[in-house]
Structure 1
Amino acid sequence: MTNFEAPRIHVLSTVSDAQVQALADLLIDCVEGGASVSFMLPLARERALAFWRKVADGVARGERALLVAEDAEGLLGTVQLVLDQPENQPHRAEVSKMLVYRRARRRGIGALLMQAAEDQAHAHGKTLLVLDTSSAEAERLYARMGWQRVGVIPGFALLPEGEPCSTTFFYRALQARAQAPAAG
């Protein structure tokens, strides 16, 4: 990719069919690249589309926040914030499916998406975030951003080709942000 325009991060309040199509392409790219994100190879396009339609339904119900990174060439990445938690956990959300196109990695897109997810968590009154990953590269990103590593569960999931992989769990306590004084 020769265009190095800074990506724009958007929070989608509704998800169009064209966006579902683009998100499915992204998911397929990541799974084909070996990402352990709940799907096995081969990932049929219909399965990827069904997943994103279900996410879109959750966005419409306010259960999830869906953030996307885009530039002039289109979609670069996405992350979700699962807001709908049990009634004894109203203060927390789960960061899920942080995906960046292989062609767009190592450009800071993951960090931008994660910061935007934290901002959304604040906007929704969340003070604790959790996530898990099987990616060493993602682990380094989360550690740089101040996430706390909890531990590793060996063989927790499978890579897309079927080999078991370990999963590392992280959390991040969000700092309370000062409210701007009300205009009088």
Structure 2
Amino acid sequence: MTQAIRVRRVAAHEAARCVDDLADVLIDCVDGGASVSFMQPLARDKAVAFWRMIAGGVERGERALLIAEDGDGRIVGTVQLVLAQPDNQPHRADVAKMLVHRRARRRGVAQQLMAAADAVARDERKTVLVLDTVTGGDAERLYARAGWQRVGDVPKYALMPDGSLCGTTFYYKHL
């Protein structure tokens, strides 16, 4: 039987308490080959430092952090909205670090996270969202189904965790 997944926004005062669990998700995704800015092997201290930095951004109101929890309360997925934008773009947010632990994939977690990100963006009065993802990756289908518009590709934009080059595809969505 599949456990229910609960998606919620992490309050500023609790972001730091999520760091270790979020580090587990990040390490699992990088180990699984996800191109999310980190190389293999991803050391735990580096993953923890990253999430501490993100928690600081949440506490300062620069980011919204959403998590997906399984029935046991374990974090199995996450996504962020980068709310702090230049003065001429107060209506925009960047969607970042959409991560789902391999043990929770194919259960609609990513779809739930993206729907929740849309809702939070609306609450924050953001009307334009942007994101990028690996060209040809599984996430492209998710974003297309969720109403995102493909802008284009940049070949050889980044590295996969194993060091091979990958293209990046950019998307936007109007809310």
Mark yes or no: TM-score above 0.5: yes
- 2:98 corresponds in structure 1 to 98
**Structure 2 unaligned regions, length at least 5:** none
User: How big is each residue's C-alpha offset from its partner over 1:92-136, in whole Å with a ceiling of 9 and x where there is no partner?
Assistant: 000000000011111110000000000000000000000000162
SS of the equivalent of 1:146 reads coil
Q: CA RMSD in A?
A: 1.1
- Measured in 2, the distance between the counterparts of 1:17 and 1:59 equals 9
- 1:145 corresponds in structure 2 to 146
- Structure 1 stretches of 4+ with a deviation exceeding 3 A read 15-18
- Measured in 1, the distance between the counterparts of 2:119 and 2:133 equals 21
TM-score normalised over the length of structure 1: 0.91
SS of the equivalent of 1:84 reads coil
User: How big is each residue's C-alpha offset from its partner over 1:72-110, in whole Å with a ceiling of 9 and x where there is no partner?
Assistant: 231110000000000010000000000000111111100
Deviation at 1:142? 0.3
Deviation at 1:17? 4.6
Matched, 1:124 2:133: no
- 2:6 corresponds in structure 1 to 8
Deviation at 1:6? 2.0
User: How big is each residue's C-alpha offset from its partner over 1:155-176, in whole Å with a ceiling of 9 and x where there is no partner?
Assistant: 00000010000001000000xx
CA distance 1:157–1:13, shift in 2 (3 Å): same
- 8 Å CA contact retained: 2:16, 2:55: no
CA distance 1:18–1:60, shift in 2 (3 Å): closer
SS of the equivalent of 2:117 reads helix
Which residue identity does 1:34 align to in structure 2? G
- 8 Å CA contact retained: 2:15, 2:58: no
- Measured in 1, the distance between the counterparts of 2:4 and 2:174 equals 28
SS of the equivalent of 1:6 reads coil
Structure with higher Rg: it is: 1
- Measured in 1, the distance between the counterparts of 2:115 and 2:76 equals 16
Identity over the aligned pairs, expressed in percent? 60
- Measured in 2, the distance between the counterparts of 1:42 and 1:7 equals 29
- 1:113 corresponds in structure 2 to 113
Deviation at 1:18? 4.2
- 2:166 corresponds in structure 1 to 165
TM-score normalised over the length of structure 2: 0.95
State the aligned residue count: 172
**Structure 1 unaligned regions, length at least 5:** 175-184
